[in-house]
């Protein structure tokens, strides 16, 4: 159980970092970061494919975690939750 607890703490930290990195673009679009968890970021016009790669690199740098493409599932769109779930502690 201890390992699982650490994973969730890490995922929450990653989610917070993603929102911090996205905050300027979200506010520029007139939206609130609190409402983004399951929203499709591309569909909202917040980011494009190049921004996704930049976002991933910045979150990896800030959190010390690694983005694993095998864990990334964006069937419902590119959301903060889908991104956060694909990061794993190094």
**pLDDT reported for residue 12:** 85
Total structural domains within the chain: 1
Structural domain span for residue 27: 2-89
| Predicted TM-score (pTM) of this structure | 0.82
Encoded tokens for 80: 């903060």
Confidence of residue 19 (pLDDT cuts 50, 70, 90): very high
What pLDDT is stored for residue 52 in this prediction? 92
Name the nearest CA neighbour of 57 among 75, 83, 81. 83
| SS3 state at 77 | coil
**36-74, pLDDT tens digit by residue?**
878 899 888 889 888 999 999 999 999 999 999 988 887
The burial of 14, by beta-carbon neighbours within 10 Å (0-12 exposed, 13-18 middle, 19 or more buried), is given as: buried
Please report the pLDDT score of residue 71 as a whole number: 86
């Amino acid at each position: 159980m201890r390992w699982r607890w650490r994973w969730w703490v890490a995922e929450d930290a990653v989610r917070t970092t993603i929102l911090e990195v996205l905050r300027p673009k979200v506010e520029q679009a007139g939206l609130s970061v609190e409402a983004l968890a399951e929203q499709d970021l591309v569909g909202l016009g917040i980011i494009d494919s190049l921004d996704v790669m930049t976002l991933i690199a910045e979150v990896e740098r800030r959190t010390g975690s690694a983005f694993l493409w095998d864990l990334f599932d964006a069937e419902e769109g590119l959301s903060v939750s889908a991104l956060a779930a694909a990061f794993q502690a190094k």
